[in-house]
Structure 1
Amino acid sequence: MRTNHFTANINGINVFYEFHHDSHSSGLSKPTLVMIHGFLSSSFSFRRLIPLLTKDYTVLAIDLPPFGKSEKSKKFVYSYENLARVVIALLDKLSIKRTVLIGHSMGGQIALNVSNQKPELVEKVVLLCSSGYLKRLPARIVYSSKIPYFYLYLKFWLARQGPLKNLLNVVYDHSLIDDEMIEGYTQPFYDDQIFHALTRMIRDREGDLASDILKKIETPSLLIWGEDDKVVPLEIGKRLNKDLPNSHLITYKKTGHLLPEEKPQDVTENILDFIQTSY
Protein backbone atom coordinates (compact mmCIF):
# COMPACT_ATOMS: atom_id res chain seq x y z
CA MET A 1 0.00 0.00 0.00
CA ARG A 2 1.31 3.43 -0.95
CA THR A 3 0.57 6.36 1.33
CA ASN A 4 1.23 10.01 0.51
CA HIS A 5 0.85 12.85 3.00
CA PHE A 6 0.00 16.42 2.02
CA THR A 7 -1.08 19.76 3.44
CA ALA A 8 -3.05 22.28 1.38
CA ASN A 9 -4.47 25.70 2.16
CA ILE A 10 -8.21 25.34 1.62
CA ASN A 11 -10.53 28.30 2.15
CA GLY A 12 -7.94 30.01 4.32
CA ILE A 13 -6.92 27.10 6.55
CA ASN A 14 -4.22 24.44 6.21
CA VAL A 15 -5.73 20.98 5.82
CA PHE A 16 -3.77 17.75 6.24
CA TYR A 17 -4.79 14.77 4.14
CA GLU A 18 -3.50 11.37 3.08
CA PHE A 19 -3.82 9.40 -0.15
CA HIS A 20 -3.74 5.62 0.15
CA HIS A 21 -3.53 3.39 -2.90
CA ASP A 22 -2.58 -0.19 -3.69
CA SER A 23 -0.52 -0.14 -6.89
CA HIS A 24 -1.97 -3.52 -7.87
CA SER A 25 -5.61 -2.41 -7.69
CA SER A 26 -7.69 -0.67 -10.35
CA GLY A 27 -8.82 1.94 -7.82
CA LEU A 28 -8.01 4.90 -10.04
CA SER A 29 -10.90 4.09 -12.39
CA LYS A 30 -13.39 3.97 -9.51
CA PRO A 31 -14.84 6.59 -7.17
CA THR A 32 -12.48 7.81 -4.47
CA LEU A 33 -13.39 6.77 -0.94
CA VAL A 34 -13.26 9.88 1.25
CA MET A 35 -12.83 9.19 4.97
CA ILE A 36 -14.20 11.83 7.36
CA HIS A 37 -13.51 11.31 11.05
CA GLY A 38 -15.48 12.26 14.15
CA PHE A 39 -15.24 14.86 16.92
CA LEU A 40 -11.98 14.87 18.94
CA SER A 41 -10.57 12.36 16.46
CA SER A 42 -8.55 12.29 13.21
CA SER A 43 -7.82 10.11 10.21
CA PHE A 44 -6.02 7.82 12.70
CA SER A 45 -9.45 6.38 13.58
CA PHE A 46 -9.59 4.72 10.13
CA ARG A 47 -6.20 2.99 10.47
CA ARG A 48 -7.74 -0.50 10.44
CA LEU A 49 -10.19 0.18 7.61
CA ILE A 50 -7.84 1.91 5.17
CA PRO A 51 -5.52 -1.05 4.42
CA LEU A 52 -8.55 -3.23 3.65
CA LEU A 53 -10.29 -0.69 1.42
CA THR A 54 -7.19 0.23 -0.58
CA LYS A 55 -7.06 -3.26 -2.05
CA ASP A 56 -9.87 -2.12 -4.36
CA TYR A 57 -10.07 1.67 -4.13
CA THR A 58 -8.08 4.85 -3.73
CA VAL A 59 -8.71 6.30 -0.26
CA LEU A 60 -8.51 9.96 0.71
CA ALA A 61 -8.40 10.49 4.49
CA ILE A 62 -8.87 14.06 5.72
CA ASP A 63 -8.06 15.64 9.08
CA LEU A 64 -10.88 18.12 9.56
CA PRO A 65 -9.72 21.40 11.12
CA PRO A 66 -8.91 21.76 13.99
CA PHE A 67 -8.24 18.04 14.51
CA GLY A 68 -5.34 15.74 13.74
CA LYS A 69 -2.52 17.44 11.86
CA SER A 70 -4.67 20.19 10.33
CA GLU A 71 -4.36 23.82 11.36
CA LYS A 72 -5.92 24.88 14.67
CA SER A 73 -6.91 28.43 13.79
CA LYS A 74 -8.64 30.84 16.17
CA LYS A 75 -10.27 32.66 13.25
CA PHE A 76 -11.71 29.87 11.12
CA VAL A 77 -15.49 29.29 11.28
CA TYR A 78 -15.95 25.72 12.55
CA SER A 79 -19.57 25.25 11.53
CA TYR A 80 -20.53 21.94 9.93
CA GLU A 81 -21.65 23.82 6.84
CA ASN A 82 -18.23 25.44 6.52
CA LEU A 83 -16.34 22.20 7.22
CA ALA A 84 -18.37 20.61 4.40
CA ARG A 85 -17.28 23.49 2.15
CA VAL A 86 -13.66 22.70 3.02
CA VAL A 87 -14.15 19.07 1.99
CA ILE A 88 -15.79 20.16 -1.28
CA ALA A 89 -13.04 22.70 -2.01
CA LEU A 90 -10.31 20.12 -1.31
CA LEU A 91 -11.97 17.64 -3.68
CA ASP A 92 -12.18 20.37 -6.31
CA LYS A 93 -8.49 21.22 -5.83
CA LEU A 94 -7.61 17.56 -6.28
CA SER A 95 -9.90 17.27 -9.34
CA ILE A 96 -11.88 14.46 -7.68
CA LYS A 97 -15.36 14.35 -9.18
CA ARG A 98 -16.59 10.89 -8.11
CA THR A 99 -16.70 10.01 -4.44
CA VAL A 100 -18.11 7.72 -1.83
CA LEU A 101 -18.09 9.52 1.50
CA ILE A 102 -17.43 7.47 4.62
CA GLY A 103 -18.13 9.45 7.78
CA HIS A 104 -17.77 8.34 11.39
CA SER A 105 -19.73 10.08 14.16
CA MET A 106 -19.48 13.86 13.51
CA GLY A 107 -17.88 12.96 10.18
CA GLY A 108 -21.19 11.40 9.13
CA GLN A 109 -22.90 14.72 9.68
CA ILE A 110 -20.23 16.48 7.59
CA ALA A 111 -20.76 13.87 4.85
CA LEU A 112 -24.49 14.58 4.87
CA ASN A 113 -23.76 18.29 4.63
CA VAL A 114 -21.54 17.67 1.59
CA SER A 115 -24.30 15.56 -0.01
CA ASN A 116 -26.80 18.32 0.69
CA GLN A 117 -24.57 21.08 -0.72
CA LYS A 118 -23.20 19.27 -3.77
CA PRO A 119 -25.10 16.02 -4.43
CA GLU A 120 -23.57 15.56 -7.90
CA LEU A 121 -20.17 15.03 -6.24
CA VAL A 122 -21.31 12.12 -4.08
CA GLU A 123 -22.30 8.76 -5.51
CA LYS A 124 -22.95 7.09 -2.15
CA VAL A 125 -22.60 7.79 1.58
CA VAL A 126 -21.59 5.43 4.38
CA LEU A 127 -22.50 6.63 7.88
CA LEU A 128 -20.69 4.87 10.72
CA CYS A 129 -22.49 5.63 14.00
CA SER A 130 -23.17 9.10 12.59
CA SER A 131 -24.19 11.94 14.83
CA GLY A 132 -27.69 13.21 14.19
CA TYR A 133 -30.35 15.59 15.47
CA LEU A 134 -28.03 17.41 17.87
CA LYS A 135 -29.11 20.99 18.51
CA ARG A 136 -26.83 23.96 18.85
CA LEU A 137 -25.24 24.17 22.29
CA PRO A 138 -27.25 26.12 24.90
CA ALA A 139 -26.80 29.89 24.80
CA ARG A 140 -25.23 29.93 28.27
CA ILE A 141 -22.39 27.71 27.06
CA VAL A 142 -21.92 29.70 23.85
CA TYR A 143 -21.72 32.93 25.86
CA SER A 144 -19.39 31.33 28.42
CA SER A 145 -16.98 30.44 25.63
CA LYS A 146 -16.38 34.16 25.11
CA ILE A 147 -14.98 34.54 28.63
CA PRO A 148 -11.20 35.15 28.58
CA TYR A 149 -9.21 31.96 29.20
CA PHE A 150 -12.25 29.73 28.68
CA TYR A 151 -9.93 27.50 26.66
CA LEU A 152 -8.08 26.63 29.89
CA TYR A 153 -11.31 25.33 31.42
CA LEU A 154 -11.89 23.29 28.26
CA LYS A 155 -8.35 21.89 28.48
CA PHE A 156 -8.87 21.00 32.15
CA TRP A 157 -12.19 19.29 31.43
CA LEU A 158 -10.78 17.19 28.58
CA ALA A 159 -7.70 16.28 30.63
CA ARG A 160 -9.95 15.23 33.49
CA GLN A 161 -11.87 12.94 31.16
CA GLY A 162 -8.60 11.47 29.92
CA PRO A 163 -8.02 9.41 26.75
CA LEU A 164 -8.41 6.05 28.48
CA LYS A 165 -11.76 7.00 30.03
CA ASN A 166 -12.99 8.22 26.65
CA LEU A 167 -11.88 5.03 24.91
CA LEU A 168 -13.54 2.87 27.56
CA ASN A 169 -16.75 4.72 26.76
CA VAL A 170 -16.59 4.29 22.98
CA VAL A 171 -15.25 0.71 22.69
CA TYR A 172 -17.35 -2.29 23.71
CA ASP A 173 -14.48 -4.79 23.95
CA HIS A 174 -11.97 -3.08 26.24
CA SER A 175 -9.27 -5.61 25.38
CA LEU A 176 -8.87 -3.78 22.04
CA ILE A 177 -7.47 -0.73 23.84
CA ASP A 178 -3.67 -0.73 23.79
CA ASP A 179 -0.88 1.83 24.10
CA GLU A 180 -0.87 2.52 20.35
CA MET A 181 -4.58 3.36 20.39
CA ILE A 182 -4.27 5.58 23.47
CA GLU A 183 -1.32 7.48 21.97
CA GLY A 184 -3.01 7.83 18.59
CA TYR A 185 -6.09 9.48 20.04
CA THR A 186 -4.08 11.63 22.49
CA GLN A 187 -1.34 12.97 20.19
CA PRO A 188 -3.35 15.81 18.53
CA PHE A 189 -4.01 17.36 21.95
CA TYR A 190 -0.33 17.98 22.69
CA ASP A 191 -0.78 21.24 20.74
CA ASP A 192 -2.48 23.79 23.03
CA GLN A 193 -3.86 25.65 20.01
CA ILE A 194 -6.56 23.00 19.65
CA PHE A 195 -8.25 24.24 22.83
CA HIS A 196 -8.50 27.76 21.40
CA ALA A 197 -9.98 26.30 18.22
CA LEU A 198 -12.45 24.11 20.14
CA THR A 199 -13.57 27.19 22.03
CA ARG A 200 -14.33 28.79 18.68
CA MET A 201 -16.10 25.60 17.56
CA ILE A 202 -18.46 25.83 20.54
CA ARG A 203 -19.63 29.17 19.17
CA ASP A 204 -19.75 28.13 15.51
CA ARG A 205 -21.37 24.68 15.52
CA GLU A 206 -24.91 25.21 14.29
CA GLY A 207 -26.38 21.80 15.07
CA ASP A 208 -27.13 18.79 12.90
CA LEU A 209 -29.26 18.76 9.76
CA ALA A 210 -32.98 18.82 10.49
CA SER A 211 -35.40 16.11 9.36
CA ASP A 212 -36.88 18.26 6.60
CA ILE A 213 -33.42 18.61 5.02
CA LEU A 214 -32.49 14.94 5.51
CA LYS A 215 -35.66 13.87 3.72
CA LYS A 216 -34.45 15.71 0.60
CA ILE A 217 -31.04 13.99 0.48
CA GLU A 218 -31.51 11.25 -2.10
CA THR A 219 -27.92 9.99 -2.12
CA PRO A 220 -27.90 6.21 -1.49
CA SER A 221 -26.80 5.84 2.13
CA LEU A 222 -25.59 2.87 4.16
CA LEU A 223 -25.89 3.25 7.94
CA ILE A 224 -23.77 0.93 10.11
CA TRP A 225 -24.23 0.95 13.88
CA GLY A 226 -22.98 -0.71 17.03
CA GLU A 227 -25.94 -1.81 19.11
CA ASP A 228 -24.04 -0.90 22.30
CA ASP A 229 -23.08 2.61 21.13
CA LYS A 230 -23.16 4.87 24.22
CA VAL A 231 -22.25 8.04 22.33
CA VAL A 232 -24.75 7.97 19.44
CA PRO A 233 -27.42 5.41 20.39
CA LEU A 234 -28.90 3.06 17.83
CA GLU A 235 -32.17 5.00 18.05
CA ILE A 236 -30.42 7.82 16.16
CA GLY A 237 -29.46 5.38 13.41
CA LYS A 238 -33.03 4.14 13.15
CA ARG A 239 -34.32 7.71 12.95
CA LEU A 240 -31.78 8.63 10.25
CA ASN A 241 -32.74 5.50 8.35
CA LYS A 242 -36.35 6.64 8.44
CA ASP A 243 -35.59 10.22 7.36
CA LEU A 244 -33.06 9.48 4.61
CA PRO A 245 -35.21 8.34 1.66
CA ASN A 246 -32.65 6.00 0.08
CA SER A 247 -30.96 4.33 3.05
CA HIS A 248 -30.28 0.95 4.60
CA LEU A 249 -29.29 0.17 8.21
CA ILE A 250 -26.95 -2.61 9.41
CA THR A 251 -26.27 -3.21 13.12
CA TYR A 252 -23.72 -5.21 15.10
CA LYS A 253 -24.20 -6.73 18.54
CA LYS A 254 -21.57 -6.27 21.24
CA THR A 255 -20.16 -3.30 19.36
CA GLY A 256 -19.76 0.28 20.56
CA HIS A 257 -19.23 3.66 18.94
CA LEU A 258 -15.75 3.14 17.50
CA LEU A 259 -16.86 0.91 14.62
CA PRO A 260 -13.77 1.41 12.40
CA GLU A 261 -11.58 0.05 15.22
CA GLU A 262 -13.96 -2.64 16.47
CA LYS A 263 -15.28 -4.26 13.28
CA PRO A 264 -12.88 -3.34 10.44
CA GLN A 265 -13.30 -6.56 8.45
CA ASP A 266 -17.08 -6.65 8.72
CA VAL A 267 -17.46 -2.93 7.97
CA THR A 268 -15.15 -3.25 4.96
CA GLU A 269 -17.29 -6.07 3.56
CA ASN A 270 -20.44 -4.00 4.14
CA ILE A 271 -18.91 -0.98 2.39
CA LEU A 272 -17.65 -2.96 -0.61
CA ASP A 273 -20.98 -4.76 -1.05
CA PHE A 274 -22.78 -1.41 -0.85
CA ILE A 275 -20.52 0.33 -3.37
CA GLN A 276 -20.55 -2.51 -5.85
CA THR A 277 -24.31 -3.15 -5.74
CA SER A 278 -26.91 -1.05 -7.50
CA TYR A 279 -28.94 0.56 -4.76
Structure 2
Amino acid sequence: MRWPAPPDWPNADISQQILCAPHRWHVQETGNGPTILLLHGAGGSTHSFRALIPLLARSHHVVAIDLPGQGFTQLGARHRCGLDVMATDIAKLCMQQGWKPRAIIGHSAGGALALELSQNLSDAQGLAPLIIGINPALDTFDGIAGVLFPVIAKMLAALPFSARFFSAASANPARIAALITGTGSTLDAEGLDLYRRLVADRNHVDATLLMMSQWDLIPLSRRIETLQARTLFIVGENDKAVPPKVARTAAQRMPDARLVEIASNGHLVHEEAPGTVAAHILEFLGDLK
Protein backbone atom coordinates (compact mmCIF):
# COMPACT_ATOMS: atom_id res chain seq x y z
CA MET A 1 0.00 0.00 0.00
CA ARG A 2 1.26 3.49 -0.75
CA TRP A 3 0.62 6.78 0.99
CA PRO A 4 -1.68 8.63 0.79
CA ALA A 5 -4.62 6.44 1.62
CA PRO A 6 -7.02 6.55 -1.35
CA PRO A 7 -10.12 8.71 -0.88
CA ASP A 8 -12.38 5.64 -0.78
CA TRP A 9 -10.39 4.04 2.07
CA PRO A 10 -12.45 3.92 5.30
CA ASN A 11 -12.09 7.14 7.32
CA ALA A 12 -9.52 8.51 4.85
CA ASP A 13 -10.57 12.04 5.83
CA ILE A 14 -8.91 11.61 9.25
CA SER A 15 -5.74 9.95 7.93
CA GLN A 16 -2.31 11.48 8.32
CA GLN A 17 1.30 10.39 7.96
CA ILE A 18 3.68 10.85 10.89
CA LEU A 19 7.42 10.26 10.78
CA CYS A 20 8.72 8.72 14.00
CA ALA A 21 11.88 6.76 13.35
CA PRO A 22 12.32 4.18 12.15
CA HIS A 23 8.86 4.12 10.51
CA ARG A 24 6.57 6.55 8.70
CA TRP A 25 3.24 5.83 10.37
CA HIS A 26 -0.25 5.95 8.95
CA VAL A 27 -2.49 7.32 11.69
CA GLN A 28 -6.21 8.02 11.88
CA GLU A 29 -7.07 10.49 14.64
CA THR A 30 -10.41 12.01 15.61
CA GLY A 31 -12.64 12.99 18.53
CA ASN A 32 -12.14 14.64 21.90
CA GLY A 33 -11.87 13.29 25.43
CA PRO A 34 -9.72 10.58 27.01
CA THR A 35 -7.38 8.99 24.46
CA ILE A 36 -8.02 5.47 23.15
CA LEU A 37 -5.36 3.76 21.01
CA LEU A 38 -6.48 1.12 18.50
CA LEU A 39 -4.14 -1.66 17.28
CA HIS A 40 -5.15 -4.04 14.50
CA GLY A 41 -4.06 -7.66 14.12
CA ALA A 42 -1.51 -9.24 11.80
CA GLY A 43 -2.43 -8.66 8.17
CA GLY A 44 -5.01 -6.00 8.99
CA SER A 45 -5.05 -2.21 9.05
CA THR A 46 -7.04 0.66 10.51
CA HIS A 47 -9.86 -0.34 8.16
CA SER A 48 -10.85 -3.12 10.56
CA PHE A 49 -11.96 -0.42 13.02
CA ARG A 50 -13.86 1.55 10.37
CA ALA A 51 -17.20 1.28 12.18
CA LEU A 52 -15.83 1.37 15.74
CA ILE A 53 -13.90 4.63 15.29
CA PRO A 54 -16.91 6.95 14.82
CA LEU A 55 -18.82 5.21 17.62
CA LEU A 56 -15.97 5.66 20.11
CA ALA A 57 -15.10 9.17 18.89
CA ARG A 58 -18.45 10.49 20.15
CA SER A 59 -16.95 10.60 23.65
CA HIS A 60 -13.21 9.91 23.25
CA HIS A 61 -10.08 10.99 21.42
CA VAL A 62 -9.44 8.01 19.14
CA VAL A 63 -6.08 7.18 17.57
CA ALA A 64 -5.75 4.19 15.22
CA ILE A 65 -2.44 3.21 13.62
CA ASP A 66 -1.29 0.83 10.93
CA LEU A 67 1.45 -1.46 12.26
CA PRO A 68 4.92 -1.24 10.68
CA GLY A 69 4.83 -2.01 6.96
CA GLN A 70 1.15 -2.93 7.01
CA GLY A 71 -1.66 -0.88 5.51
CA PHE A 72 -0.19 2.55 4.75
CA THR A 73 2.62 2.62 7.34
CA GLN A 74 6.00 2.59 5.62
CA LEU A 75 8.40 0.10 7.16
CA GLY A 76 11.69 1.71 8.17
CA ALA A 77 13.53 -1.27 9.65
CA ARG A 78 12.84 -4.87 8.72
CA HIS A 79 14.16 -6.23 12.02
CA ARG A 80 11.67 -4.23 14.14
CA CYS A 81 8.49 -6.25 13.57
CA GLY A 82 8.57 -8.39 16.73
CA LEU A 83 6.33 -7.92 19.75
CA ASP A 84 8.80 -6.19 22.08
CA VAL A 85 10.40 -3.80 19.59
CA MET A 86 7.05 -2.94 18.00
CA ALA A 87 5.73 -1.97 21.44
CA THR A 88 8.84 0.15 22.00
CA ASP A 89 8.37 1.96 18.67
CA ILE A 90 4.66 2.61 19.30
CA ALA A 91 5.42 3.95 22.78
CA LYS A 92 7.97 6.29 21.18
CA LEU A 93 5.33 7.47 18.70
CA CYS A 94 2.88 8.15 21.53
CA MET A 95 5.45 10.18 23.46
CA GLN A 96 6.44 12.16 20.36
CA GLN A 97 2.81 13.05 19.63
CA GLY A 98 1.89 13.73 23.24
CA TRP A 99 -0.71 10.95 23.27
CA LYS A 100 -1.38 9.52 26.73
CA PRO A 101 -3.70 6.58 26.06
CA ARG A 102 -6.05 5.85 28.94
CA ALA A 103 -7.10 2.69 27.11
CA ILE A 104 -5.60 0.47 24.42
CA ILE A 105 -7.81 -1.70 22.23
CA GLY A 106 -6.10 -4.51 20.34
CA HIS A 107 -7.54 -7.09 17.99
CA SER A 108 -5.97 -10.56 17.68
CA ALA A 109 -2.16 -10.06 17.71
CA GLY A 110 -2.94 -6.45 18.54
CA GLY A 111 -4.31 -7.74 21.86
CA ALA A 112 -0.89 -9.13 22.78
CA LEU A 113 0.71 -5.92 21.57
CA ALA A 114 -1.68 -3.89 23.76
CA LEU A 115 -0.61 -5.83 26.86
CA GLU A 116 3.08 -5.46 25.99
CA LEU A 117 2.65 -1.75 25.23
CA SER A 118 0.78 -1.15 28.47
CA GLN A 119 3.98 -1.82 30.42
CA ASN A 120 5.95 0.64 28.27
CA LEU A 121 3.36 3.36 28.71
CA SER A 122 2.89 2.67 32.42
CA ASP A 123 6.61 3.24 32.93
CA ALA A 124 6.56 6.39 30.77
CA GLN A 125 3.41 8.12 32.04
CA GLY A 126 2.99 6.56 35.48
CA LEU A 127 -0.55 5.40 34.78
CA ALA A 128 -1.47 1.96 33.48
CA PRO A 129 -3.84 2.13 30.49
CA LEU A 130 -6.94 -0.03 30.52
CA ILE A 131 -6.74 -2.91 28.04
CA ILE A 132 -9.47 -4.26 25.76
CA GLY A 133 -8.48 -7.36 23.79
CA ILE A 134 -10.80 -8.38 20.96
CA ASN A 135 -10.27 -12.08 20.26
CA PRO A 136 -6.72 -11.65 21.59
CA ALA A 137 -4.01 -13.94 20.21
CA LEU A 138 -2.21 -14.69 23.48
CA ASP A 139 -1.07 -18.26 22.95
CA THR A 140 1.30 -20.13 20.68
CA PHE A 141 0.12 -22.78 18.27
CA ASP A 142 -0.44 -26.24 19.71
CA GLY A 143 1.75 -29.24 19.03
CA ILE A 144 3.93 -29.54 15.95
CA ALA A 145 2.43 -26.35 14.46
CA GLY A 146 4.05 -24.42 17.30
CA VAL A 147 7.43 -25.61 16.06
CA LEU A 148 6.88 -25.47 12.30
CA PHE A 149 4.86 -22.28 11.87
CA PRO A 150 7.52 -19.77 13.03
CA VAL A 151 10.15 -21.61 10.97
CA ILE A 152 8.00 -21.50 7.82
CA ALA A 153 7.22 -17.82 8.38
CA LYS A 154 10.94 -17.04 8.73
CA MET A 155 11.69 -18.93 5.52
CA LEU A 156 8.97 -17.12 3.58
CA ALA A 157 10.06 -13.73 4.92
CA ALA A 158 13.63 -14.42 3.77
CA LEU A 159 12.67 -15.34 0.21
CA PRO A 160 12.66 -12.32 -2.14
CA PHE A 161 9.58 -13.39 -4.14
CA SER A 162 7.48 -15.04 -1.43
CA ALA A 163 5.36 -11.98 -0.65
CA ARG A 164 4.68 -11.38 -4.34
CA PHE A 165 3.72 -15.03 -4.85
CA PHE A 166 1.44 -15.13 -1.79
CA SER A 167 -0.15 -11.82 -2.77
CA ALA A 168 -0.87 -12.97 -6.31
CA ALA A 169 -2.17 -16.37 -5.18
CA SER A 170 -4.46 -15.04 -2.44
CA ALA A 171 -5.86 -11.74 -3.65
CA ASN A 172 -8.73 -13.01 -5.80
CA PRO A 173 -12.22 -12.46 -4.37
CA ALA A 174 -13.05 -16.16 -3.95
CA ARG A 175 -9.84 -16.83 -2.06
CA ILE A 176 -10.38 -13.84 0.24
CA ALA A 177 -13.96 -14.93 0.95
CA ALA A 178 -12.68 -18.41 1.87
CA LEU A 179 -9.98 -16.97 4.16
CA ILE A 180 -12.49 -14.78 6.01
CA THR A 181 -15.03 -17.58 6.30
CA GLY A 182 -12.27 -19.73 7.77
CA THR A 183 -12.01 -17.31 10.71
CA GLY A 184 -15.65 -17.91 11.62
CA SER A 185 -16.72 -14.45 10.47
CA THR A 186 -19.03 -13.21 7.73
CA LEU A 187 -18.33 -9.86 6.07
CA ASP A 188 -20.25 -7.92 3.45
CA ALA A 189 -18.86 -7.27 -0.04
CA GLU A 190 -17.17 -4.02 1.03
CA GLY A 191 -15.41 -5.69 3.95
CA LEU A 192 -14.15 -8.53 1.76
CA ASP A 193 -12.89 -6.11 -0.88
CA LEU A 194 -10.89 -4.14 1.67
CA TYR A 195 -9.00 -7.30 2.66
CA ARG A 196 -8.55 -8.17 -1.01
CA ARG A 197 -6.92 -4.79 -1.58
CA LEU A 198 -4.58 -5.32 1.36
CA VAL A 199 -3.54 -8.81 0.32
CA ALA A 200 -2.97 -7.62 -3.25
CA ASP A 201 -0.16 -5.37 -2.00
CA ARG A 202 3.09 -7.31 -1.70
CA ASN A 203 4.65 -4.78 0.71
CA HIS A 204 1.76 -5.32 3.13
CA VAL A 205 2.13 -9.09 2.79
CA ASP A 206 5.90 -8.88 3.23
CA ALA A 207 5.52 -6.89 6.47
CA THR A 208 2.91 -9.35 7.74
CA LEU A 209 5.28 -12.25 7.10
CA LEU A 210 8.05 -10.38 8.92
CA MET A 211 5.76 -9.82 11.89
CA MET A 212 4.80 -13.49 11.99
CA SER A 213 8.42 -14.64 11.74
CA GLN A 214 9.61 -12.33 14.54
CA TRP A 215 6.64 -12.75 16.90
CA ASP A 216 7.44 -14.34 20.26
CA LEU A 217 4.66 -14.62 22.86
CA ILE A 218 6.57 -16.73 25.39
CA PRO A 219 8.03 -13.85 27.48
CA LEU A 220 4.59 -12.17 27.70
CA SER A 221 2.91 -15.46 28.59
CA ARG A 222 5.42 -16.12 31.38
CA ARG A 223 4.61 -12.86 33.15
CA ILE A 224 0.91 -12.53 32.37
CA GLU A 225 -0.02 -13.19 36.02
CA THR A 226 1.93 -10.05 36.99
CA LEU A 227 0.18 -7.66 34.58
CA GLN A 228 -1.76 -5.13 36.65
CA ALA A 229 -3.71 -3.41 33.87
CA ARG A 230 -7.49 -3.67 34.26
CA THR A 231 -8.47 -5.77 31.24
CA LEU A 232 -11.54 -6.75 29.27
CA PHE A 233 -11.51 -9.52 26.68
CA ILE A 234 -14.27 -9.48 24.07
CA VAL A 235 -14.56 -12.81 22.30
CA GLY A 236 -16.62 -14.03 19.38
CA GLU A 237 -17.81 -17.51 20.34
CA ASN A 238 -17.47 -18.66 16.72
CA ASP A 239 -13.81 -17.59 16.39
CA LYS A 240 -12.01 -20.29 14.41
CA ALA A 241 -8.70 -18.43 14.16
CA VAL A 242 -8.02 -17.94 17.89
CA PRO A 243 -10.10 -20.37 19.98
CA PRO A 244 -12.14 -18.61 22.71
CA LYS A 245 -10.41 -20.79 25.30
CA VAL A 246 -7.25 -18.69 24.80
CA ALA A 247 -8.92 -15.57 26.22
CA ARG A 248 -10.72 -17.57 28.91
CA THR A 249 -7.43 -19.01 30.13
CA ALA A 250 -5.66 -15.64 30.02
CA ALA A 251 -8.49 -13.99 31.99
CA GLN A 252 -8.20 -16.64 34.68
CA ARG A 253 -4.45 -16.11 34.96
CA MET A 254 -4.53 -12.31 35.13
CA PRO A 255 -5.19 -10.46 38.39
CA ASP A 256 -7.81 -8.01 37.02
CA ALA A 257 -9.38 -9.33 33.83
CA ARG A 258 -12.89 -10.24 32.79
CA LEU A 259 -14.41 -11.81 29.71
CA VAL A 260 -17.43 -11.07 27.52
CA GLU A 261 -18.46 -13.59 24.88
CA ILE A 262 -20.61 -12.67 21.87
CA ALA A 263 -22.58 -15.46 20.25
CA SER A 264 -22.74 -16.10 16.49
CA ASN A 265 -19.68 -13.99 15.60
CA GLY A 266 -16.13 -14.97 14.77
CA HIS A 267 -12.61 -13.61 14.76
CA LEU A 268 -13.68 -10.31 13.18
CA VAL A 269 -16.48 -9.71 15.67
CA HIS A 270 -15.68 -5.97 15.81
CA GLU A 271 -16.40 -5.76 12.09
CA GLU A 272 -19.47 -7.99 12.19
CA ALA A 273 -21.10 -6.39 15.26
CA PRO A 274 -19.44 -3.00 15.85
CA GLY A 275 -22.38 -1.60 17.80
CA THR A 276 -22.37 -4.49 20.25
CA VAL A 277 -18.60 -4.37 20.67
CA ALA A 278 -18.65 -0.58 21.14
CA ALA A 279 -21.32 -0.89 23.83
CA HIS A 280 -19.17 -3.38 25.79
CA ILE A 281 -16.11 -1.14 25.40
CA LEU A 282 -17.89 2.00 26.55
CA GLU A 283 -19.45 0.21 29.51
CA PHE A 284 -16.01 -1.02 30.55
CA LEU A 285 -14.44 2.40 30.16
CA GLY A 286 -17.24 3.93 32.23
CA ASP A 287 -16.37 7.39 33.56
CA LEU A 288 -12.83 7.34 32.23
CA LYS A 289 -11.28 10.77 32.66
- TM-score, with normalisation over the residues of structure 1? 0.86
**Closer/same/farther in 2, CA of residues 88 and 265 from structure 1, 3 Å limit:** same
Equivalent residues of 2:43, 2:204 under 8 A apart = no
Of 177, 182, 188 in structure 2, the residue corresponding to residue 164 of structure 1 is 177
**Closer/same/farther in 2, CA of residues 114 and 187 from structure 1, 3 Å limit:** same
Provide the residue aligned with 1:261 in structure 2. 271
Of residues 10-19 and 143-152 in structure 1, the stretch that sits farther from structure 2 once superposed is: 143-152
Give the distance between the partners of 1:2 and 1:63, measured in 2 at CA.
Answer: 13
**Closer/same/farther in 2, CA of residues 247 and 154 from structure 1, 3 Å limit:** same
Superposed displacement of residue 141, structure 1: 4.8
Provide the residue aligned with 2:226 in structure 1. 216
**Closer/same/farther in 2, CA of residues 151 and 261 from structure 1, 3 Å limit:** closer
Query: Where in structure 2 are the equivalents of 1:25-104 lying within 5 Å?
Result: 27-28=32-33, 31-72=34-75, 75-104=78-107
- CA offsets, 1:6-36, max 9 Å, x none? 1112231111001121xxxxx33xx201111
- CA offsets, 1:93-121, max 9 Å, x none? 11122420011111101101101333235
- In structure 1, runs of 5+ residues without a counterpart are 22-26
Equivalent residues of 1:113, 1:209 under 8 A apart = no
Give the distance between the partners of 2:70 and 2:127, measured in 1 at CA.
Answer: 24
Equivalent residues of 1:132, 1:209 under 8 A apart = no
Q: CA RMSD in A?
A: 2.6
1:271 paired with 2:271, answer no
Give the distance between the partners of 1:159 and 1:84, measured in 2 at CA.
Answer: 29
Superposed displacement of residue 243, structure 1: 1.7
Equivalent residues of 2:15, 2:26 under 8 A apart = yes
Give the distance between the partners of 1:47 and 1:255, measured in 2 at CA.
Answer: 17
Equivalent residues of 1:73, 1:197 under 8 A apart = no
Equivalent residues of 2:70, 2:205 under 8 A apart = no
- In structure 2, runs of 5+ residues without a counterpart are 1-10, 141-145
Equivalent residues of 2:91, 2:117 under 8 A apart = yes
> Structure 2: which amino acid aligns with 1:38?
G
Of residues 258-267 and 36-45 in structure 1, the stretch that sits farther from structure 2 once superposed is: 258-267
Equivalent residues of 1:217, 1:245 under 8 A apart = yes
Of 223, 229, 236 in structure 1, the residue corresponding to residue 246 of structure 2 is 236
1:117 paired with 2:120, answer yes
Give the distance between the partners of 2:171 and 2:165, measured in 1 at CA.
Answer: 10
Give the distance between the partners of 1:16 and 1:250, measured in 2 at CA.
Answer: 30
Provide the residue aligned with 2:136 in structure 1. 130
Equivalent residues of 2:237, 2:265 under 8 A apart = yes
Provide the residue aligned with 1:183 in structure 2. 193
1:193 paired with 2:197, answer no
Provide the residue aligned with 2:158 in structure 1. 146
**Closer/same/farther in 2, CA of residues 263 and 122 from structure 1, 3 Å limit:** farther
- CA offsets, 1:29-69, max 9 Å, x none? xx201111111111111111111111111110111112111
- TM-score, with normalisation over the residues of structure 2? 0.83
Of residues 139-148 and 10-19 in structure 1, the stretch that sits farther from structure 2 once superposed is: 139-148
Give the distance between the partners of 1:163 and 1:244, measured in 2 at CA.
Answer: 35
Give the distance between the partners of 1:96 and 1:210, measured in 2 at CA.
Answer: 24
1:15 paired with 2:25, answer yes
- SS of the residue 1:118 aligns to: helix
Give the distance between the partners of 2:160 and 2:72, measured in 1 at CA.
Answer: 26
